[in-house]
Chains A and B, each alone.
Chain A
Amino acid sequence: MSDIKGKAIVLNMNNVSTDQIFPGQYVNLTDPNEIAEHVLEGADKSFKNRIKTGDILVAGNNFGCGSSREQAVITLKEAGFAAVIANSVGRIWYRNAINLGLPVLICEGFVNQVEEGDEIEVNLKEGIAKNSSKGTIAKGNAISDFVLNIFANGGIKPMMKSKILSK
């Protein structure tokens, strides 16, 4: 997989739960565009306006803790985020991100080295996050080949589909 580049959107808070990423009152929604409208509304009502396609979300501890709602990944992906870097992440959210092909790098402390708008580069295979604007590099958790393979395929859906089709 090639490096992912984008501008940083910083959310330096801990335990940003799925309730904030995608509030409970919207969980019945299924249309990806509608889901994207409410991105991170529980943290900041106008969050949507901060995002441009290709941006990278840089977050704190336990990002995505809480519910299993997959919309908490869909909303970030559809709102335009190319990747998420966080100190740590909630387990189910992480699994959902893998399945839907939203690249996630767990990189302790990176959020403290970044300002909104900084140019960020992510190398998933090496587990490295670069802040080109500040000239800093941080080493995060390496990602297993199993998971890298899913990211490389754009998520589990295309993989399932091709397996079914090749039967």
Chain B
Amino acid sequence: MPMHAIHKILAEKSGKQEVKAGEIVNAKVDIAGINDIYLTVLISYDDMGGGKVWDPEKIVFFFDHNAPSPTIKGASNQKVMSEFAREQGIKKIFKINEGICHSVLSESGLVKPGDIIIITDSHTTTLGAFGAFATGVGSTDLAVIMMTGELWFRVPEVINVKLEGTLKDGVMAKDIALHMLGELGTEFATYKVIEYSDSVVEKLSIDERMVLCNMSVEMGAKSTYIRPNSKTIEYVKSRSHAPFIVHETDPDFIYDKEYIFNLDNLLPQVSIPDSVDNARNIEEVEGISIDQVFIGSCTGGKLTDLEAAANILKGKKIAESVRLVVTPSSKEVLTKAIERGYYQTFLDAGAAITTPGCGACFGGHSGLIAAGEKCATTSNRNFPGRMGSIEAGVYLVSPITAAYTAITGKLNNPQYK
């Protein structure tokens, strides 16, 4: 039976010749990651009997949401996790100075094609950009992996999304994702894998591919897949010496669905409150005044995101009516952004730059918004209360649109014109 590369990964990791969509398998996990906000993982672990973890080398802690901790409870959770890691011999702790799980994991060479990566963060779909099977789970699932090294999965159907054409100037991967959400909604991929393919995807940088895969969870996707090409292989080999297999999808594999988007005429997109699929062409929302611009998160705080924003902000000042918060996704991004002068540009323009991490994206700290305020953000969700008050409005945009919006204080992106 023809199989998709994702199916081959699941088959290999569950010790089977073949698997098909709908069946339930128990698969071995390569990396199990725990974020600092989920002490509930350790509580579930204890509830289920605890003991020694299955393999301390394969368990990773990320102190990325409370970096640094804004509350006593947040600090205590990190403390308990540190002690647990020490007792269990878990050495891979990405501490408060490192950055967001998806960025730091890929930067440190722990993501390879063919791996199964499970993290307590829904945006783990990001790592499909490297040809891995990666998905987010809740605390109890993660605790099960810590005990057994395995987890049950329903083998997912695969949707093929073909992205053709040429992007206009000023249009980014984020705009593609928002456009797809606007067209297909928040549920079209629930329980399924989205594969991105075709000419646009081939050309996109690794960072931009990560944006598509990241936002796929907003479409309901369980996981994502981009067939590793030379860019992917080069990236992975430059950071890891471990061997890996690139599984190929059988040519006669039948996709669950196929969508083709021609992106020649795609304009910058904005998802207006209060749902990720409320996507609009920039022209329809141009001029809405904004109180805070946030450039950051696993979606929009990577090096290419900061680069895109810095190119626009260079030599400019942000509007007096707006505040700009920049949160790089990782220490590596931060170091490079300083080296390349992006930090200088942001600070000169009037930005507040915070520590790498999740920051304001999930309403944790470092830039919450008040009732009646509007925030334009390069992050990934705009549900009520996501970034602070439930009476605030969150507008999802690309880093380019965010930068232009910071300059004028109003939603805009003239670059495509």
Contact = CB atoms under 8 A, between A and B. Distances in A.
Asked if chains A and B are in direct contact (CB within 8 A), the reply is yes
A42 B184 CA distance: 25
A20 B252 CA distance: 43
Given A23-B385, A42-B390, A29 B73 contact: yes
B297 interface: no
A156 interface: yes
A73 B49 contact: no
B94 to A, nearest CB: 18
A107 interface: no
B51 A70 contact: no
Contacts of B384: 19-20, 42-43
Given A19-B383, A91-B191, A157 B44 contact: yes
Given A68-B122, A91-B191, A164-B147, A25 B363 contact: yes
Interface of B is mostly: loop
A138 B73 CA distance: 44
B39 A69 contact: no
A28 B383 contact: no
Interface stretch (B138-146, B160-168, B315-323): B138-146
A15 B77 contact: no
Given A28-B39, A164-B48, A164-B147, A157 B140 contact: yes
Interface size class of B (residues with CB under 8 A): 35 or more
A23 B39 CA distance: 16
A165 B37 contact: no
Interface string B355-398: 00000001110001000000000000101111000100000000
B141 A62 contact: no
A88 B190 contact: yes
Given A19-B363, A29-B73, A91-B222, A68 B121 contact: yes
Contact of B138 (A17, A28, A45, A69): A69
Contacts of B152: 146
Contacts of A70: 38, 40, 44, 138-140
B329 interface: no
Contacts of B44: 70, 157
A46 B190 CA distance: 30
A160 B144 contact: yes
A23 B48 CA distance: 27
A91 B190 contact: yes
B298 to A, nearest CB: 12
Interface in A120-158: 144, 146, 155-157
Interface in B328-352: none
Contacts of B409: none
Interface size class of A (residues with CB under 8 A): 35 or more
Contact of A69 (B24, B37, B43, B66): B37
A154 B335 CA distance: 49
Contacts of A30: 39-40, 43, 77
B388 to A, nearest CB: 8
Interface stretch (A4-12, A51-59, A95-103): A95-103
Contacts of B186: 15, 62, 65
B362 A24 contact: yes
A91 to B, nearest CB: 5
User: Which of A68, A70, A155, A157 gathers most chain B CB within 10 Å?
Assistant: A68
B120 interface: yes
B396 to A, nearest CB: 13
Nearest to A65: B186
B144 A67 contact: no
B243 to A, nearest CB: 30
B14 interface: no
A44 B66 CA distance: 26
B383 A20 contact: yes
A109 B77 CA distance: 41
Interface of B: 24, 37-40, 43-44, 47-49, 51, 65-66, 71, 73-74, 77, 120-122, 136-141, 144, 147, 152, 186-187, 190-191, 218, 220, 222, 275-277, 362-364, 368, 381, 383-386, 390
Interface of A: 14-15, 17, 19-20, 23-25, 27-30, 41-43, 45, 61-62, 65-71, 73-74, 88, 90-92, 95-96, 99-100, 144, 146, 155-157, 160-161, 164-165
9 closest A-B pairs (Cβ-Cβ)? A24-B363, A96-B138, A42-B385, A70-B138, A164-B49, A160-B48, A17-B383, A24-B362, A99-B140
9 contacts: A15-B276, A19-B381, A62-B186, A62-B190, A68-B138, A91-B220, A91-B222, A95-B137, A96-B140
Given A42-B384, A74-B40, A96-B139, 15 more contacts: A15-B383, A24-B386, A30-B43, A42-B390, A67-B121, A68-B121, A68-B136, A90-B190, A91-B220, A91-B222, A92-B122, A95-B141, A99-B144, A144-B24, A156-B144
